[in-house]
Amino acid sequence: MGIYVETSATGLYRLENFTACGFTEIISHTGTTLSPGEILIRGKYTSVSKLVETGNGLATAAIKIFPSFLYKELQNALKKLTPSIFSGLISHGGIISPSYRISSKDRNKGYMIIYGGANLFAPLIEKGIATNLSIASSLFDVEKMTDIRNY
């Protein structure tokens, strides 16, 4: 049996001294055809480069919801993950806090706050190395990747 997880929203998540502080903006996934994380990165709202250099900045993060009765199962699954492979979890709980509820249907849901995977590519847009980002639509040859600090 698995755990059904749904992304309810994505937003800008502020960090200070590499410590998670909370959302500054949130975009609901309801009715969207584009990834809100992609919109935030392409719009240059993130500051992942600055975050890496100083510990202060904005990254994308998603609110994931799931049936609250599966919270113990989620906790058990999280214990089995290797931290070096899965490091994007910010917080989680059995009942979503009112500040993270996007609609009334979320009130009896469990939640996870997870950093967006596209944050890895945000510095390419922020530094002007790439002009376009299209999440989940193409592949990039790893052999062509170079160290971001060279720019």
Lowest-pLDDT range of 52-56, 57-61, 63-67, 126-130: 126-130
Q: Where are the domains of the chain?
A: 6-150
Q: What is the pLDDT of residues 82-106, one digit of tens each?
A: 766 566 899 999 999 888 888 888 8
CB 106 within 8 A of CB 122: no
CB 99 within 8 A of CB 24: no
Instruction: Return the SS3 of 26.
Output: strand
Nearest one of 60, 83, 76, 24 to 133, comparing CA atoms: 60
Question: How far apart are the C-alpha atoms of 149 and 136, rounded to whole Å?
Answer: 25
